[in-house]
């Protein structure tokens, strides 16, 4: 989830058939009937390494202990169980999507780049993440301006 930036309703559907030449190509599940949004994202090396080392199903990467594809809700419940078992009671599946957006923004992604990764239609959602990152970058670059200048010359 972290390395695709997608919703649980998408990641439970991802499988080998969605990857060609190192690109993950899919239509986002949310809004698929009203305004289908086709995304093509590079498969990050970190994600590929995880996939290469993980047991995967035939049509979906993520499978239940019974070898079946997860439903959206079933995966959400299982993810909650995994987080609780790890003592990460504050974590959620959607939290990984938000974490990915925060990390990308902090690493310099623009609002439009975030829109392309996460499939958002408007700047409003993307700017939620870039505003905070921009504030920190701008403050880092300008904080020294608060100090009085040495007037001796």
| Per-10-residue mean pLDDT, the chain, length 153 | 95 96 96 92 96 92 94 95 95 92 93 96 92 88 89 63
pLDDT for position 111: 95
Buried b (16+ CB within 10 A) or exposed e, 1-20: bebbbbbbbbbbbbbeebbe
pLDDT score recorded for residue 149: 82
**Domain-located, residue 14:** yes
In a domain, 104, yes or no: yes
pLDDT for position 152: 67
Q: Describe the crossing of helices 111-118 and 93-106 by its angle, rounded to 10 degrees.
A: 150
pTM (2 decimals)? Answer: 0.83
Tell whether 74 and 111 lie within a shared domain: no
Domain that holds residue 73: 1-90
Count Cβ neighbours within 10 Å for each residue of 45-73 and write b for 16 or more, e otherwise.
Answer: eebeeeeeeeeeeeebbbbeeeeebbebe
Q: Are both 132 and 117 inside the same structural domain?
A: yes
Query: Cβ distance 111 to 86 under 8 Å?
Result: no
Cross-sheet strand order for the sheet of 19-20: 19-20, 23-27, 38-42
pLDDT at 150: 77
**How much is the pLDDT for 76?**
94
The residue among 70, 90, 110 that closes a domain is: 90
Domain-terminating residue out of 90, 122, 137: 90
pLDDT of residue 42: 97
């Amino acid at each position: 989830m972290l390395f695709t930036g997608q919703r649980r309703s998408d990641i439970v559907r991802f499988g080998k058939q969605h990857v060609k030449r190192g690109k993950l190509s899919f239509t986002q599940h949310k809004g698929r009937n009203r305004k289908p949004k086709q995304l093509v994202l590079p498969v990050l090396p970190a994600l590929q390494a995880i996939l290469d080392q993980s047991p995967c199903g035939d049509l979906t990467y993520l499978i239940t202990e019974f070898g079946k594809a997860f439903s959206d809700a079933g995966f959400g419940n299982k993810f909650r169980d995994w987080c609780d078992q790890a003592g990460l009671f504050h974590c959620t599946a959607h939290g990984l999507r938000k974490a990915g957006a925060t990390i990308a923004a902090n690493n310099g992604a623009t609002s439009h780049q975030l829109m392309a990764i996460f499939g958002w239609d408007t700047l409003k959602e993307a700017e939620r993440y870039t505003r905070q990152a921009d504030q920190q970058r701008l403050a880092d670059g300008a904080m020294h301006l608060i100090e009085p200048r040495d007037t001796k010359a």
